Structure 1
Amino acid sequence: MARMLLVPGFWLGAWAWDEVAADLRQRGDEVLAITLPGLDADDPERLSATLETQAQAIVEAADEPTVLVAHSGGGAAAYLATDLAQERFSRVIYIDSAPVPEGHALIPKLGARPDFPLPDTWEEVEATGNSLAGLDEADLARFRERAVSEPAGVAGAALKLSDSPARLSIPTTVICTSYPSDLVKQLRDSGEEPFFRELRRIDAEYLDLPTGHWPMWSKTAELAELLHDVANR
C-alpha cells in the first residue's frame, strides 16, 4: 500500500485532512498529514515562516519514497520540496492546485502586510475563485474557527526554483475540483493564468472530481478513493 504525505492549503493545518486520512488508513495506506511552518497558531515565531522553511519541512517528513499530496496554496511549497529532493517523491498529486512556476507569488499584491488572513466574508472567498460548493454550515464554522493567517513569507513571496529538471520527471496527477480539467488545460496552454503555466513542462494526468475548492470536506470518501487508486498504481 502507498505511503502518502498530505499537505493542506492556505489557512489550514493537518486537521483539515482528518476525515480523508482516516478513510485512507482504513484502505491500508500509510498516511501522514502535516501542519506547515507558519500555520501553527500556538507558534509565536510562525510569521517568520517562508516557502523555503515549508518546503524543507515537507522534505524532512518524506524520509522514504512518498506520494506527496498538496491542496490549493500548499502546492507552492510542495513543488519546491520536489525541487530540493526529487528522489524522495514517487508521485505528486495536486488537488485544485498546480506546480507554481519560477518567480510566481501566490498573493502578488500583498505588499508590506505581515500576513494574509482568511477573508472576513465567504462572499470574498468565492470572489477569488475558491468555490464553497458542497460545504455545509458546520464545515464553514469549523473552517472559520480554526483558520490561521498565512505568513507574508509564504503568501507574498516569489517562488525560487533551481535549474535542475529532475523535479519535472516525477509522475504528476492534477485532481480538478472547482475548475474542470478541460478549463485547466485551456488555461495552461493559453498562458492566461500564470498559476498553471508550469504544467506545460510536466507530462501530468488530469482527473475530475466536480465539487468546490475543499473536496476533503465536500467529497471526503470520493477524494479518498481517488487518492488511494492513484497512489497505489
Structure 2
Amino acid sequence: MTHFVLVAGARLGAWAWDETAAELRAAGHDVHPLTLSGLAEKQGVLAGQQTHVQDIVGEVERLGLRDVVLVGHSYAGVPVGQAAERIGDRLRRVVFVDANVPVDGETFLSGWPSDPVREAIAAGGGFWPRATAAYYADQDLTDEQIARIVAGSTPHPGATLTEPAVLTRPLSELPATYVKCLLDGDEPRPVVAELLESERWERVDMDTGHWPMFSQPRELARVLHESAAKG
C-alpha cells in the first residue's frame, strides 16, 4: 500500500484535497491530506517555512509511514521538497503539482517581482491576504469551484514565503514527478527545467489550470497513482 501525504498551496488546507483523496482511497491507497500551521483550521499561527517543513516530517513520523509519496502543490512544493530529503528511506517518491521547488538559500519569492507580495504581507500583519475570485479566472475552474476556494481560503503566514530553504543534497537525486498544468504556462520555471534533466525526474502534463485538485480531481488522482507505481 502506498501512503500519500498531500499538501496544498498557499492559503489552502487539507480540505482542498477532498475529491482527489477520495479517488485515491477508492484505488486502495492510504491518504493523509495535511493542513500546514497557520492555515485553515490551524489559522492564526505566525509559522515560518521550517515550521511547515517540520509539519510534514512530523506527520510522516507520527503516523509511522513508510513507502511515502509526498505531494506538494504550488507553494507547498518548497516545504515538501525539503521534507522529502529529511524523511530518508521512508520516501517512495515526491510529486510537485505545478509547484515551486526549494533552492538552498533562496525563498519562495526569489526570482520574480515580489515587492507587491511583501507589501501585502506587511499590511496584513505578517500574513499574505486571501485572493479575490478574479485571481482564479481562466484556470479551468467553474464559478462554483472558485467560490469554494475563496470561501475556504485563509491568509497565509508571510514568513513562510520570505525565509530561505535549507537543502543538504541536490534535489535532483530524489525520485520525483513534476506535474505541469498547461493553462498556467506551457513551461516550468528554469530551475525546474534543469531538475527535469535528471534521470530520476519525470514530467507529466495536465491540460488544466493551476488548481487541478478542483478542476480535474479524478485525473489528478490518476496521475498521482501512476507516479507512485514508478517508485
Q: Which residue number in structure 2 is paired with residue 21 of structure 1?
A: 21
1:49 and 2:53 matched: no
Range 210-219 or range 168-177, more displaced: 168-177
Q: SS of the residue aligned with 2:15?
A: helix
Q: Give aligned-pair identity as a percent.
A: 31
1:120 and 2:129 matched: no
Range 19-28 or range 63-72, more displaced: 63-72
Structure 1 132/181 Cα, relative in aligned 2: closer, same or farther at 3 Å? closer
Q: Which residue number in structure 2 is paired with residue 191 of structure 1?
A: none
Cα offset for 1:142?
Answer: 1.0
Structure 1 121/143 Cα, relative in aligned 2: closer, same or farther at 3 Å? closer
Q: SS of the residue aligned with 2:77?
A: helix
* TM-score, normalization by structure 2: 0.83
**Runs of 4+ residues deviating >3 angstroms:** 40-44, 178-182, 200-203
Structure 1 154/225 Cα, relative in aligned 2: closer, same or farther at 3 Å? same
Structure 1 6/197 Cα, relative in aligned 2: closer, same or farther at 3 Å? same
CA contact (8 A) 1:116 1:149 kept: yes
Cα offset for 1:197?
Answer: 6.7
Q: Which residue number in structure 2 is paired with residue 224 of structure 1?
A: 221
Q: Which residue number in structure 1 is paired with residue 182 of structure 2?
A: 178
CA contact (8 A) 2:73 2:96 kept: yes
CA distance in 2, matches of 1:80, 1:49: 16
CA distance in 1, matches of 2:132, 2:78: 24
CA distance in 1, matches of 2:39, 2:132: 18
Cα offset for 1:133?
Answer: 2.1
Structure 1 140/179 Cα, relative in aligned 2: closer, same or farther at 3 Å? closer
Q: Which residue number in structure 2 is paired with residue 80 of structure 1?
A: 82
Structure 2: give runs of 5+ residues left out of the alignment.
none
CA contact (8 A) 2:133 2:150 kept: no
Q: SS of the residue aligned with 1:183?
A: coil
121, 143, 154: which one pairs with 2:160?
154
CA contact (8 A) 1:72 1:96 kept: yes
Cα offset for 1:223?
Answer: 0.8
Q: SS of the residue aligned with 2:182?
A: coil
CA distance in 2, matches of 1:19, 1:152: 28
Structure 1 200/138 Cα, relative in aligned 2: closer, same or farther at 3 Å? closer
When the two chains are superposed, the root-mean-square deviation of aligned CA atoms in Å is 2.4
Q: Which residue number in structure 1 is paired with residue 206 of structure 2?
A: 209
Structure 1 91/42 Cα, relative in aligned 2: closer, same or farther at 3 Å? closer
The CA deviation string for residues 110-162 of structure 1, in whole angstroms up to 9 with x for no partner, is 1561111233351xx36xxxx64221111111111111111111122222323
Q: SS of the residue aligned with 1:73?
A: helix
CA distance in 1, matches of 2:206, 2:80: 21
